[in-house]
């Protein structure tokens, strides 16, 4: 099972392949804030310093929100990501 490290919490957990990152964070008590949970508000903006290739491809709604926010490369919305391998994430706020 892939390992997800929440750097802000010094927490590493195992996640099912294809698990939603929001669901994993909430189940494990990680401190990532969530708002709308639909890829619109940008509350759950994260940096992915390790394992960006191990997260699902970006969809149109997330791409539009990230563009409107002025997000930088390597930043994603946790509510829109599925785990596909080991990764490290941290809050971008």
Tokens of 62: 């997330």
The residue among 1, 12, 25, 10 whose CA lies nearest residue 77 is 25
Separation CA 26–CA 79 (nearest Å): 10
Looking at residue 40, which CATH number applies to its domain? 3.10.20.30
State whether the Cα torsion 49-46-74-17 is positive or negative.
positive
Domain count, the chain: 1
pLDDT of residue 80: 96
The yes-or-no verdict on residue 93 having pLDDT over 90 is no
% of the chain exceeding 90 in pLDDT: 94
The predicted model scores a pTM of 0.93
Q: Rounded mean pLDDT of the chain?
A: 95
Question: What digits encode the pLDDT tens for the residues 36-64?
Answer: 888 999 999 999 999 999 999 999 999 99
Provide the residue range defining the domain that includes 11: 3-91
């Amino acid at each position: 099972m892939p390992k997800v490290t929440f750097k802000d919490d010094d927490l590493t957990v195992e996640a099912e392949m294809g698990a939603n990152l929001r669901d994993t964070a909430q189940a494990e008590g990680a401190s990532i804030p969530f708002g709308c949970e639909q890829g619109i508000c940008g509350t759950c903006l994260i940096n992915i310093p390790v394992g960006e290739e191990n997260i699902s491809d970006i969809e149109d709604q997330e791409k539009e929100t990230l563009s409107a926010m002025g997000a930088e490369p390597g930043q994603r919305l946790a509510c829109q990501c599925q785990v596909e391998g080991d990764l490290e994430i941290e809050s971008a706020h």
